[in-house]
């Protein structure tokens, strides 16, 4: 598989199509993951995002979108993702790479030689046991402690991903804006109980970093009305500013 001009043109066509833009973020992300999976010859993969610092052990996932897994594979992979095997095999090496940059895309052979990989009994006990083998992982950190990632697998016995495969995934994850979640996405629906539709909208825009003037313009409201909504929100959540409001919901514990 190659990230040649034709594939990149297909990628551009997908992300700019009117029918794609009109769909929900979850469907858009799922469609892109399906496209990348097929283009790089992967059997399955998942997109996810969460909060936590790249060089700390505590990173909290907020949302995950799997593609191509059987129910049994996905169940087992979720257990593997939380294991010591994943920490030592993938997380720690990738954290080392993230010390000097915020975005990295690597395939298995860039982290482990064939000899190291296939002689490791933990690989057989974890990935090979559910039919998976070589992987390609793209991780992007932004806004201090937000991260998003895309991980793809090939079945046991298939070769590792090529440089062209890494380039395509790196391009998609690094340039497509809606693959990077907005801060407001991490606010749970129960948060909005008893809020009016307008208050909810104002709150989401505040969490996404818009100023009060920008919110007024976007919603065709007066600045006075927006200020009133903000005052009510701050009173409800016992904060004094938009920054404190964001900290209430968006900071890692």
* Arithmetic mean of pLDDT, 70-78: 91
Q: How many CA atoms lie within 13 A of 5 on its CB side?
A: 0
Q: Which residues make Cβ contacts (< 8 Å) with residue 116, sequence separation at least 6?
A: none
pLDDT for the residue 250:
56
- CATH number for the domain harbouring residue 68: 3.30.450.80
- pTM (2 decimals)? 0.75
Q: To the nearest whole percent, how much of the chain has pLDDT over 90?
A: 53
Total tally of structural domains belonging to the chain: 2
- Token readout for 146 is 């937000």
pLDDT digits (tens, 9 = 90+) for 206-225: 887 788 999 998 888 999 99
Q: Which of 43-47, 184-188, 242-246 has the lowest mean pLDDT?
A: 184-188
Select from 181, 209, 232 the last residue of a domain.
181
One domain for residues 177 and 196 = no
pLDDT for the residue 81:
83
One domain for residues 158 and 191 = no
DSSP state of 56: S
Select from 142, 164, 181 the last residue of a domain.
181
One domain for residues 155 and 191 = no
Q: Is 236 helix (H, G, I), strand (E, B) or coil?
A: helix
Q: Are 103 and 50 in contact (CB under 8 A)?
A: no
Angle, alpha carbons 40-45-47 (nearest 5°) = 110
One domain for residues 130 and 232 = no
Higher pLDDT, 194 or 30: 30
Its domain, for residue 237, covers 184-250
* Arithmetic mean of pLDDT, 59-78: 85
- CATH number for the domain harbouring residue 210: 1.10.10.10
* Arithmetic mean of pLDDT, 160-171: 96
pLDDT for the residue 197:
80
Q: Which of 143-152, 187-196, 228-237 has the largest mean confidence?
A: 228-237
Of 195, 183, 210, nearest to 62 (Cα)?
A: 183
- Token readout for 225 is 């009305």
């Amino acid at each position: 598989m190659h990230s040649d001009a034709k594939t990149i043109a297909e990628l551009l066509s997908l992300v700019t199509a009117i029918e794609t833009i009109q769909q929900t973020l979850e469907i858009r992300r799922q469609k892109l993951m399906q496209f990348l999976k097929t283009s790089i010859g992967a059997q399955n993969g998942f997109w996810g995002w969460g909060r936590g610092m790249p060089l700390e052990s505590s990173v909290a996932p907020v949302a995950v979108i799997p593609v191509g897994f059987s129910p049994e594979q996905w169940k087992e992979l979720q257990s593997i993702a939380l294991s010591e095997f994943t920490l030592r095999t993938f997380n720690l090496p990738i954290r080392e790479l993230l010390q000097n940059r915020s975005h990295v895309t690597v395939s298995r052979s860039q982290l482990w030689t064939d000899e190291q990989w296939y002689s490791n009994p933990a690989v057989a006990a974890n990935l090979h046991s559910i039919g998976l083998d070589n992987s390609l992982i793209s991780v992007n950190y932004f806004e201090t402690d937000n991260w998003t990632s895309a991980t793809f697998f090939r079945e046991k016995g298939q070769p590792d991903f090529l440089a062209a495969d890494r380039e395509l995934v790196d391009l998609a994850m690094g340039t497509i804006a809606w693959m990077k979640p907005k801060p407001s996405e991490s606010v749970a629906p129960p948060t909005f109980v008893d809020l009016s539709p307008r208050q909810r909208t104002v709150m989401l825009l505040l969490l996404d970093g818009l100023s009060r003037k920008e919110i007024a313009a976007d919603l065709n409201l007066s600045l006075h009305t927006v200020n009133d909504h903000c005052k009510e929100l701050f009173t409800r959540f016992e904060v004094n500013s938009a920054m404190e409001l964001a900290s209430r919901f968006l900071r890692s514990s």
